[in-house]
Amino acid sequence: MCSAETGMVECAGLFLSNNMHPIKDYAHLVGHLDGFNADLIEEHLGLYAGYVKKYNEINERLGSVERVGNYSYAEHSELIRRRSVAWNGTKLHELYFDNLTEGGMELGSGLKIALERNFGSVNAWKDDLKACANATPGWVILAQQIDDGTLQHYVVYEHQNNYPAEVRVILALDCWEHAFAKQYGTNKGAYLNAFFENLHGEELERRLG
Ligand SMILES: [Fe+2]
């Protein structure tokens, strides 16, 4: 049996980090992104904070539940299964909000070259991203393969389904309706245009391996 204390878990005499994750502050984005109403971003940040809290809650609970697994149901099993949802919901939202900035920033030269090499042109990359966005109610990620450095898109359902292994996320695009419907209804295309207008090109360049 393990016991959770502040910031650590004592388990069989060993102290292990319980992986508490802080909620990042994105107040600088609220009311400062063209095409994104302040209340849309505020509501979205509230959802993000909910994923962080659930991730922390799951890790805290794992510090005290019995380590018994079962395919049908066991508390430990369910917590482990759902941790992927809370963690991906946390990190994908951070990648999303981090790749937005007031007024947008031009793509770095390294990323432009990589996009041209992998998609044909920057415009062709944008077209491909838009096509992917129309194929998922979850996420689109522009990913760099760890194996060979190439770039390609993946569509992710919910936050954890269809998620590729061994990739570096260069861009995260939230395609859940909560990201745009409050302002744009079903017009996902207008949302995507606003997304591109505020894209943080320098941040994307920094993520390249
Ligand atoms: Fe979201």
For 76-94, write each residue's pLDDT tens digit: 999 999 999 999 999 999 9
Q: How far is the CA of 132 from the centre of ligand 1 (A)?
A: 16
Read off the pLDDT of each residue in 1-8 and give the average, rounded to a whole number. 45
Distance 174 CA to ligand 1 centre (A): 6
Exposed, middle or buried by CB within 10 Å (0-12, 13-18, 19+), for 121? exposed
Residue 176 lies in a domain: yes
Lookup result for tokens 């770095």? 108
Domain with 165, as residue range(s), is 109-207
- Distance between Cα 138 and ligand 1 center (Å): 8
CATH number, position 199: 3.55.40.20
Query: What is the average per-residue pLDDT within 32-59?
Result: 97
Sheet of strand 8-11: strand arrangement:
2-5, 8-11, 14-17
d(CA 193, CA 184): 11
- Residues 9 and 85 placed together within one structural domain of the fold: yes
Q: Same domain for 133 and 177?
A: yes
pLDDT grade for 19, boundaries at 50, 70 and 90? confident
Q: Are residues 8 and 88 in the same domain?
A: yes
* 15 pLDDT above the threshold of 90: no
pLDDT higher at 11 or 205: 205
Q: What percent of the chain has pLDDT over 70?
A: 91
| Domain count of the fold of the chain | 2
Q: What is the H or E stretch that residue 179 is in?
A: none
8 Å CB contact between 97 and 48 = yes
Position 138 in a domain: yes
Q: Is 170 helix (H, G, I), strand (E, B) or coil?
A: strand
Give φ, ψ of 15 to 5 degrees.
-105, 125
Question: Which residue, 66, 98, 130, sits at the end of a domain?
Answer: 98
| Same domain, yes or no: 118 and 67 | no
Per-residue model confidence as pLDDT tens digits over 153-189: 999 999 999 999 999 999 999 999 999 999 999 999 9
Taking all residues of the chain, what is their mean pLDDT, rounded to a whole number?
93
- Any domain includes 44: yes
Measured in Å, residue 72 CA sits from the centre of ligand 1 at 29
Q: How far apart are the first and last CA of the chain?
A: 41
Ligand 1 centroid to 97 CA: how many Å? 9
Of the listed ranges 2-11, 101-110, 112-121, the one predicted with least confidence: 2-11
User: Does 155 lie in the same domain as 129?
Assistant: yes
Q: Beginning with the edge strand found earlier in the chain, give each strand of the sheet holding 167-174 in spatial order.
A: 151-156, 139-145, 167-174
| 182 Cα to the center of ligand 1, angstroms | 12
C-alpha of residue 122 to centroid of ligand 1, in Å: 25
Work out the percent of the chain whose per-residue pLDDT is above 90: 91
Q: How far is the CA of 11 from the centre of ligand 1 (A)?
A: 35
Q: How many angstroms separate the alpha carbon of residue 93 from the centre of ligand 1?
A: 6
Question: Quick one: which of 22, 41, 45 has its CA closest to 32?
Answer: 41
- Which residue type occupies 111? L
What is the rounded CA–CA span in Å between residue 44 and residue 186?
17
> What pLDDT score was predicted for residue 10?
46
Verify that 86 and 113 share a domain, yes or no.
Answer: no
Residues 118 and 93 in one domain: no
